[in-house]
């Protein structure tokens, strides 16, 4: 194939030429040529050659790059051969990349014949190659092209992924560059901090050096001061030692004098203690307008008046003798029950003459108080939330409300307050546990028959012994049904105790069930102590209870010769001469027996301020066993329960008294009333029921409604919260029923 040349010169005259056009962009790569000018022979030869090539290169027939190259090579050689007969060649190129060969032919017939032969040979070769090209190879080529397309697609995808990776790498490179810049900034900051720390370290080193210098200077001054102070202290210690020696010498002298005085006093004390103090008590009855007196004479020879202490106690006196060392050598209390009267120490008449100490107790006059007659005042509502109900008006004569002692154990709203009354029967029928501080004030007390101090009136009106219940003291041990011991304050409802009860066949053992226990407040109580003899050389024991507590004892009448009978005897009325306390003790087998039990040898009474416990049994006839010593038990009864009390009106006043229906019935039948007016039964304002316990059924149905109870604290029924469930089941009805 000839190289590229210039375009055809338009001024050159061509007798004839052959144009062969090759277009590489055609899909079938067809070869076509035209005889522009020339002889018929050459034109026919070339047309036949090109026609054969065109037939073989019909649409649907393609040649690979190798065959095309071979064809072009043969055509090129043909072109060079044509150059020998042509006077020149000119090649023109178009814009599409196709090329056209122009051959100028000569006039020789031989060259044309040779060219025709070569073209025929070329045609035959092309036909042979076209026949060799089969459809199978075309299919393989098509498959290869498809694979090539897939490879190109994969290459495109790989190229895209590569570009993405390059892009990500660029982003990471940008981040790394930013981090490098930040690291450079931080390195700069760290360098600045290092410089600052170095400067601070240098400054602190300088300050430390200055402080070290100052410390060395101060230490030198301290050492100097310490040496000076040590010298001064050494001098002072020497002076103190010299003074101490002198003080010890003086003290030894005073101790010798004190020992001599002590020896003398000891001799005097031994002489005084060699005689047991004789004691004489005398009671002088009231006569000739004088009140009764009690004289107590105690023989105390050799005892100085400075070592005698006399202290008044409630309804008695306490005396104490002390030695020179202020140690008590004799102490005794003389206290009398309130039933014998009220006594007060008369310190003016007490004296110590000729070794005999005389103590004088004068009996106080019984106060007779009378309420003044006044107009009847309407009742006022009482707020249940207040601890003390206020009076309606300050100017009117009203009564003070006082709490019952049952509020600490079994709280009952209906029996939480009672009206205190000062009457001749108030000591016996007044509210349980009322003390002197709970009595009416001066405004509620009417004019007295004779002027007297209010404190005396309160002392006279308060009678703790008369209002005491049948109680045991704290710490008393009761024998349980299983043989264990229960403290009386630890008893609860339902506890079973070993009991001793009377039947038609005699007294037998049984089991008593505790119904309720009540712990009263600490106040003055009349206590009876039954002193029992000791067993086998042991110390004696005591049974302590309130004087009204009943114990099981045997009573005999020696004059009539009656046999022993069991009876309930109050502890205050127990007489060892005619009574024998029922006691039991453990035998060798561990059982209980009455043989060899101790007897009561003495009974003492005293007034003590203490707490007591009231025990109420299910059956009041049961006698429980109280431990008085190790393995020794005494039989006592429980509390019989609360008696019904009533609040009645008398002379426009309210009085609290026991239920005395029978007494009033007898009084109405009496004909000795000098007045013409018929005695009527007092109007019962309300009844005071017993405190709430597990067997209480008298509950107020109106208290548990929305309207509430209109009577409030004056309601005779129980307002305890334990009845709330029962009240929900039974709804109250107000108004008329159809």
Which tens digit of pLDDT belongs to each residue from 177-197? 999 999 999 999 999 999 999
Give the 3-state secondary structure of residue 693: coil
Q: Indicate the DSSP class of residue 94.
A: -
Residue among 362, 275, 255, 361 nearest 321 (CA): 275
Per-residue pLDDT, averaged over 556-579, amounts to 72
Give the 3-state secondary structure of residue 610: strand
pTM of the model: 0.33
Q: 297: buried, middle or exposed (CB in 10 Å: 19+, 13-18, 0-12)?
A: middle
Higher pLDDT, 483 or 683: 483
Q: 543: buried, middle or exposed (CB in 10 Å: 19+, 13-18, 0-12)?
A: buried
How far is CA 509 from its chain centroid?
48
CB atoms under 10 Å from CB of 284, counted, come to 14
Q: Which pair of structure tokens corresponds to residue 117?
A: 């032969």
Q: Indicate the DSSP class of residue 57.
A: T
CA 40, CA 45: separation in Å to the nearest integer?
9
CA 438, CA 445: separation in Å to the nearest integer?
13
Structure confidence at residue 206 as a pLDDT band (50, 70, 90): very high
Structure confidence at residue 44 as a pLDDT band (50, 70, 90): low
Residue 286 CB contacts under 8 Å (≥ 6 apart), including other chains: 292, 363
Structure confidence at residue 198 as a pLDDT band (50, 70, 90): very high
Span of 54-63, 163-172, 324-333 with lowest mean pLDDT? 54-63
Residue among 515, 495, 524 nearest 409 (CA): 515
CA 574, CA 568: separation in Å to the nearest integer?
10
Residue with tokens 């003398």: 264
Strand 645-650: give its sheet, edge to edge.
653-658, 645-650, 684-688
CA 463, CA 519: separation in Å to the nearest integer?
19
Structure confidence at residue 7 as a pLDDT band (50, 70, 90): very low
Extents of the domains making up the chain? 17-133, 279-363, 401-466+643-667+679-729, 471-637
Q: Report pLDDT for 190.
A: 92
How far is CA 442 from its chain centroid?
48
Exposure pattern of 145-184 as b/e (b: 16+ CB <10 Å)? eeeeeeeeeeeeeeeeeeeeeeeeeeeeeeeeeeeeeeee
The residues facing 283 across adjacent strands are 294
Residue 423 CB contacts under 8 Å (≥ 6 apart), including other chains: 655
Residue among 602, 500, 586 nearest 535 (CA): 586
Cβ atoms of residues 599 and 503 within 8 Å: no
Query: How far apart are the two ends of the chain, measured CA to CA in Å?
Result: 142
Residue among 417, 426, 314 nearest 369 (CA): 426
Q: Which pair of structure tokens corresponds to residue 328?
A: 């008590």
- Dump pLDDT digits (tens) for 14-35: 333 444 444 444 434 434 444 3
Q: Report pLDDT for 675.
A: 53
**CA-to-CA separations, 465 to 47, 312, 341, 455, 615, in angstroms, rounded:** 166, 19, 11, 19, 18
Longest Cα–Cα distance in the chain: 207
Higher pLDDT, 733 or 428: 733
CA atoms 401, 405, 408, 410: torsion sign = negative
Q: 43: buried, middle or exposed (CB in 10 Å: 19+, 13-18, 0-12)?
A: middle
The overall average pLDDT reported for the chain is 69
Higher pLDDT, 419 or 112: 112
- Dump pLDDT digits (tens) for 265-297: 777 666 555 545 677 888 888 776 677 888 888
Cβ atoms of residues 399 and 685 within 8 Å: no
DSSP 490-538: G--TT-EEEEEEEETTEEEEEEEEEEEEEEPPSEEEEEEEEEEPPSTTP
Higher pLDDT, 693 or 498: 498
Express as a percent the part of the chain with pLDDT over 70.
Answer: 58
Structure confidence at residue 225 as a pLDDT band (50, 70, 90): very high
Q: Which pair of structure tokens corresponds to residue 170?
A: 């660029």
Tell me phi and psi for residue 621, to 5 degrees.
-80, -5
Given a cut of 80, whether residue 102 has pLDDT beyond it is no
Given a cut of 80, whether residue 66 has pLDDT beyond it is no
CATH number 2.170.16.10 is the correct assignment for the domain at 471-637: yes
Given a cut of 80, whether residue 241 has pLDDT beyond it is yes
Q: Which pair of structure tokens corresponds to residue 311?
A: 């202290």
Same fold, 279-363 and 471-637: no
CA 556, CA 542: separation in Å to the nearest integer?
23
Give me the CATH code for the 279-363 domain, please: 2.60.40.790
Q: 139: buried, middle or exposed (CB in 10 Å: 19+, 13-18, 0-12)?
A: exposed
Cβ atoms of residues 495 and 486 within 8 Å: yes
Given a cut of 80, whether residue 460 has pLDDT beyond it is no
Structure confidence at residue 199 as a pLDDT band (50, 70, 90): very high
CA 392, CA 401: separation in Å to the nearest integer?
12
Q: Report pLDDT for 564.
A: 60
Span of 140-149, 202-211, 653-662 with lowest mean pLDDT? 653-662
Q: Report pLDDT for 737.
A: 60
> For the chain, what is the radius of gyration of the CA atoms?
70
Length of the chain in residues, anyone?
738
Exposure pattern of 53-86 as b/e (b: 16+ CB <10 Å)? beebbeeeeebeeebeeebbebbeebbeebeebb
Tell me phi and psi for residue 576, to 5 degrees.
-60, -20
Cβ atoms of residues 488 and 543 within 8 Å: no
Q: Report pLDDT for 427.
A: 37
How far is CA 726 from its chain centroid?
33
Given a cut of 80, whether residue 473 has pLDDT beyond it is yes
Exposure pattern of 385-412 as b/e (b: 16+ CB <10 Å)? eeeebebeeeeebbbebbbbbbbebbeb
Q: Indicate the DSSP class of residue 661.
A: H
CA 52, CA 691: separation in Å to the nearest integer?
144
Exposure pattern of 575-589 as b/e (b: 16+ CB <10 Å)? eeeebbbbbbbeeee
Q: Indicate the DSSP class of residue 695.
A: T
């Amino acid at each position: 194939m000839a190289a590229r040349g210039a375009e055809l010169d338009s001024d050159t005259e061509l007798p004839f030429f052959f144009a062969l056009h090759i277009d590489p962009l055609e899909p079938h790569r067809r070869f076509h040529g035209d005889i522009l000018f020339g002889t018929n022979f050459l034109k026919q030869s070339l047309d036949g050659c090109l026609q054969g090539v065109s037939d073989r290169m019909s649409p649907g027939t393609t040649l690979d790059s190798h065959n095309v190259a071979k064809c072009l090579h043969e055509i090129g050689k043909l072109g060079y051969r044509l150059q020998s007969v042509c006077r020149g060649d000119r090649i023109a190129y178009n814009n599409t990349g196709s090329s056209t060969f122009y051959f100028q032919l000569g006039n020789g017939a031989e060259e044309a014949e040779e060219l025709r032969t070569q073209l025929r040979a070329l045609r035959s070769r092309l036909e042979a190659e076209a026949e060799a090209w089969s459809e199978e190879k075309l299919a393989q080529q098509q498959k290869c092209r498809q694979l090539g397309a897939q490879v190109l697609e994969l290459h495109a995808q790989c190229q895209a992924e590569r570009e993405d990776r390059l892009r990500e790498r660029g982003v990471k490179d940008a981040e790394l560059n930013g981090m490098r810049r930040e690291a450079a900034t931080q390195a700069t900051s760290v360098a600045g901090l290092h410089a600052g720390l170095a400067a601070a370290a240098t400054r602190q080193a300088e300050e430390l050096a200055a402080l070290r210098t100052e410390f060395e200077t101060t230490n030198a001054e301290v050492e100097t001061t310490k040496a000076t102070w040590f010298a001064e202290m050494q001098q002072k210690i020497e002076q103190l030692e010299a003074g101490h020696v002198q003080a010890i010498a003086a003290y030894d002298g005073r101790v010798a004098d004190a020992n001599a005085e002590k020896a003398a006093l000891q001799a005097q004390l031994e002489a005084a203690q060699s005689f047991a103090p004789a004691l004489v008590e005398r009671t002088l009855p009231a006569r000739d307008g004088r009140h009764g007196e009690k004289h107590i004479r105690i023989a105390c020879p050799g005892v100085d008046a400075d070592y005698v202490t006399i202290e008044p106690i409630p309804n008695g006196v306490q005396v104490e003798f002390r030695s020179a060392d202020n140690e008590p050598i004799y102490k005794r209390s003389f206290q009398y029950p309130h039933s014998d009267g009220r006594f007060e120490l008369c310190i003016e008449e007490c004296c110590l003459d000729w070794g005999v100490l005389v103590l004088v107790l004068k009996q106080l006059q019984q106060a007779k108080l009378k309420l003044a007659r006044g107009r009847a005042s309407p009742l006022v509502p009482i707020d249940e939330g207040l601890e003390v109900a206020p009076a309606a008006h300050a100017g009117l004569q009203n009564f003070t409300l006082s709490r019952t002692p049952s509020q600490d154990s079994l709280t009952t709203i209906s029996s939480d307050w009672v009206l205190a009354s000062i009457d001749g029967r108030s000591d016996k029928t007044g509210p349980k546990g009322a003390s002197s501080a709970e009595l009416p004030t001066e405004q509620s007390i009417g004019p007295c028959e004779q002027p007297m101090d209010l404190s005396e009136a309160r002392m006279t009106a308060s009678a703790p012994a008369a209002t005491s219940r049948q109680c045991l003291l704290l710490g008393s041990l009761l024998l349980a049904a299983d043989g264990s011991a229960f403290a009386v304050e630890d008893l609860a409802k339902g506890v079973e105790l070993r009991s001793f009860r009377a039947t038609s066949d005699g007294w037998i053992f049984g089991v008593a069930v505790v119904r309720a226990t009540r712990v009263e407040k600490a106040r003055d109580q009349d206590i009876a102590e039954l002193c029992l003899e000791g067993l086998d050389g042991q110390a004696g024991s005591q049974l302590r209870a309130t004087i009204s507590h009943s114990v099981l004892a045997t009573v005999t009448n020696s004059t009539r010769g009656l046999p022993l009978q069991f009876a309930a005897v109050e502890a205050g009325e127990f007489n060892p001469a005619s009574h024998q306390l029922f006691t039991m003790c453990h035998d060798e087998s561990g059982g209980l027996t009455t043989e060899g039990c101790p007897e009561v040898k003495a009974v003492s009474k005293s007034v003590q301020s203490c707490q007591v416990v009231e025990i109420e049994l299910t059956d009041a006839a049961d006698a429980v066993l109280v431990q008085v010593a190790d393995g020794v038990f005494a039989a006592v009864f429980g509390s019989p329960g609360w008696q019904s009390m009533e609040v009645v009106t008398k002379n426009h006043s309210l009085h609290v008294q026991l239920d005395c229906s029978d007494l009033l019935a007898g009084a109405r039948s009496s004909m000795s009333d000098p007045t013409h007016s018929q005695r009527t039964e007092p109007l019962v304002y309300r009844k005071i029921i017993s405190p709430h316990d597990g067997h209480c059924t008298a509950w107020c149905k109106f208290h548990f409604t929305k309207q509430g109870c209109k009577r409030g604290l004056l309601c005779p029924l129980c307002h305890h919260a334990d009845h709330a469930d029962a009240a929900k089941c039974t709804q109250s009805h107000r108004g008329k029923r159809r």
